[in-house]
Amino acid sequence: MSLQFLHPNYLWFLFILLIPIIIHLFNFKRYKKIFFSNLRFLQNLNTENKRKSKLKNLLVLLLRMLALACIVIAFAQPYLPISGEKLSNKGNELINIYIDNSFSMNGKTEKGNALEVAKNQAFELVKSLPDYAKIRIYSNDIQHYSTSLNKNQAIARIQEINPSPNSLQLSKTLSNIRLDSPLDKSQVYILSDFQNSQADLEKLQQDSLLNIDFVHFQLQATNNLVLDSCWFEKPIHFTGPQKELSVKISNHSNKDLKQIPIQLTINDSLKTVGSMDINKNSSEITQLRYNDRQSGLVQAKLSIEDYPITYDNSLYFSYKTNNVNHILSINQNKKNQYINKLYASDKNFEIKNINKTQLHNETFNEFQLIILNEIEDLESGFKQSLQTYLQNGGNLLFIPNEQIESSVNLFLSDVLAPNYLEIDSTQQRISKIETKANLYQDVFQDLKDNARLPDIYKFYKLSAPNNPSLESIWLTAGSEKLFTRIRYGKGQLFQLSMNLNGDWTNLITHPILIPTLINLSKTSTNSSKIYHQIGKKNTIELTSSSNSNNEEQFHIKNDQIGIDIIPLRINSFNHSTQLRVVDQLRISENYVVTLNDSILQTCSFNYPRLESEHSYYEKQEIENKIKAIDENYSVISSEKMKLSELNNEKRDGRQFWRIFILLALSFFLIEGILKSRTT
């Protein structure tokens, strides 16, 4: 890599070095005669002075020539291009600056808050750029550009950058920059703390058009206590029974923590307080128990106290509590009088009967249990709706008809359930009941061996699908399956091998039928997610029917913090309505879904916990990982060099004119000292 000159034509002025040579050669002194009586004492001294004078004149000549040469070279502005190329064509200079504004950048560096330091460095860099520079400012919220910015626009865009719950993978950031300028060669500055969860260095690829500098921010070590997640083991929300909420808390520190308080607030009222011990660098799960005494919408908040990182100290969740179990019986011809009589006698249940031909406007998500009562066949749309209902957590009970079409077994095969085979008319009896099944939790204290169980006069033989979730709840003495359960998605499909008519079984007169049917609706997990994660593509499925046309708009809002958005509405094939939320919500809180100012249900959004564990790449680690990728990648420390100086070097090369000016002054100074000592 050779030294180059910004103004090489100025080097022609080096010919002025001939002037001091000419002056030196033709500057003959005129000697003045002085008469002495005797020159014998001056003869030796005169010979010595001539030698010294000649040497001094040659030194002065050399110093003057060097000084003049340094001045000429300084005006020619010598530089050493960093990239090895001559950077004289700057008219299309493109500068891309990515500022990582994820929550981890709220950490502290030696100079203060990392995000603010990054913004200040970006300010200085933009101000140092020439007016013709094209600039693009990226962040986790600003991921694409159609046009470039000028200096004033870039400064305004940097000022708008604030901490964001979004976290963007490093490879995705560089991919976005390349998509915005696929043919342009440009300079890229990545200002980040390079957290392990975000900096996917192993996915970086060679790119000859991007010159990439990683500006590394070294954050000070910080302990963090994280309210990680929460869930219900039994997501069945009814008034009265005690609930058990599981809460996971993580301790990202090197210190054991004792008696950490956890608060649960429901509808702005403190519900319960718990505490737990957490070992260093570990996670623990605790349970909070409480009761919902009123039906309706529940908005809840879990909270802990931890500083200085606070965004993950709260966790919002919401659900709807019912005091009535809603059951839908879809009948082939007539309703089942035994089932209806059982549910109608209990105020905690509400059963709705419809004929199979009346399904067009029915929303399955409203029901905790759907009974397919002696259905002969299933149309394709009906099958798809049932599968979706199961996937979302619904409970389905299938009671067979004496005549079953192939479409029924096709549906059962699709969900990996046993198929109905031939009818066995050999009289049997229920010989074994799986008392430990979830369906019978808290039902049986002890089932005696000689207990009189229901008789079965005829039944369908069931196939044995390859499904590890298959559970045989009732069996005959010959191990024939009479009542089974399989899991499909989040839901459960229960199958009887017989219907409830008197010529099939005497089950309707046996006490075992009552807890079986009651618990079927209470084990449903058909409920909405209790919270969503900000930054993801979230789908909110409305659990209640809303008589709205496509022109009416749903809103998701929180009046206390002044947020009101209109989500994307999706009408699904099973007559339910879904709302799609991507980037509109940015604040962790509880919200309500409204239509025409009427509240339909609740939803909750929380910040992602991806960056709660503070693990970062060191500068040396980044250098080692990118060494084998491309020479266009480099790493600099944010504390050791200003970006403005680095960019000037990249644009104009390493400048040496100041050095030559200093050399010229040094030569003049030496000349002056030499003259003063000889006078």
Write the DSSP assignment of 258-286 as a string of letters. EEEEEEEEETTEEEEEEEEEE-TTEEEEE
Residue that wins the pLDDT comparison between 165 and 363: 165
Residues above pLDDT 90, as percent of the chain: 44
Residue 236 in any domain: the answer is no
Residue 74's pLDDT is 86
Residue 244 in any domain: the answer is no
Q: How many residues does the chain have?
A: 679
pLDDT in tens, 226-285: 999 999 877 778 787 788 999 999 999 889 999 999 999 999 999 999 999 999 999 999
Residue 263 in any domain: the answer is no
* 3 state DSSP class of 246: strand
Residues 362 and 384 in one domain: yes
Residue 86's pLDDT is 45
Residue 556 in any domain: the answer is yes
pLDDT at 322 over 50: yes
Q: What is the mean pLDDT of the chain?
A: 85
Residues 407 and 508 in one domain: yes
Residue 629 in any domain: the answer is yes
141 CB neighbour count, 10 Å cutoff? 15
pLDDT in tens, 358-377: 876 677 878 889 999 999 99
Residue 215's pLDDT is 92
Residue 644's pLDDT is 61
Residues 508 and 363 in one domain: yes
pLDDT at 526 over 60: no
Residue 499's pLDDT is 93
Average pLDDT over residues 186-201: 91
Residues 645 and 660 in one domain: no
Domain stop point among 606, 634, 667: 606
Average pLDDT over residues 134-158: 90
pLDDT at 628 over 80: no
Residue 247 in any domain: the answer is no
Residues 392 and 421 in one domain: yes
C-alpha span between 638 and 643 (Å, rounded): 8
C-alpha span between 370 and 566 (Å, rounded): 32
Residue 351's pLDDT is 93
Domain stop point among 471, 497, 522: 522
Residues 74 and 100 in one domain: no
Residues above pLDDT 70, as percent of the chain: 87
List of residues 6+ apart from 529 with CB closer than 8 A: none
C-alpha span between 469 and 175 (Å, rounded): 43
* 3 state DSSP class of 486: strand
Contact by Cβ (8 Å): 65, 662:
no
- pLDDT band, residue 548 (cuts 50/70/90): low
Q: Which of 163-177, 536-550, 580-594, 596-610 has the lowest mean pLDDT?
A: 536-550
CATH number for the domain spanning 492: value is 3.40.50.880
- Rg (the chain; Cα; Å): 41
Residue 268 in any domain: the answer is no
Domain stop point among 502, 522, 542: 522
Residues 641 and 585 in one domain: no
Residue 89's pLDDT is 47
pLDDT in tens, 29-54: 555 566 655 555 555 555 556 667 77
Write the DSSP assignment of 493-560 as a string of letters. EEEESS-SSTTTBSGGGSTTHHHHHHHHHHS------S-EETTS-EEEE-SS-----TTS-EEEEETT
C-alpha span between 137 and 156 (Å, rounded): 10
Residues 361 and 468 in one domain: yes
Show the domain range for 71. Answer: 4-83+656-678
Average pLDDT over residues 460-475: 93
C-alpha span between 292 and 240 (Å, rounded): 6
- Which of 602, 563, 609, 585 is closest to 317 using CA atoms? 602
Residue 84's pLDDT is 46
Residues 466 and 601 in one domain: no
Residue 215 in any domain: the answer is yes
- pLDDT band, residue 87 (cuts 50/70/90): very low
Model pTM score: 0.70
Residues 573 and 673 in one domain: no
Residue 193's pLDDT is 93
pLDDT in tens, 306-317: 888 889 999 999
Residue that wins the pLDDT comparison between 60 and 378: 378
Residue that wins the pLDDT comparison between 651 and 271: 271
Residue 507's pLDDT is 92
Residues 203 and 171 in one domain: yes
Q: How far apart are the first and last CA of the chain?
A: 46
Q: How many domains does the chain have?
A: 4
Average pLDDT over residues 57-80: 83
- pLDDT band, residue 483 (cuts 50/70/90): very high
- pLDDT band, residue 587 (cuts 50/70/90): very high
pLDDT in tens, 116-137: 999 999 998 898 888 888 999 9
Residue 397's pLDDT is 96
C-alpha span between 139 and 102 (Å, rounded): 9
Residues 347 and 441 in one domain: yes
CATH number for the domain spanning 214: value is 3.40.50.410
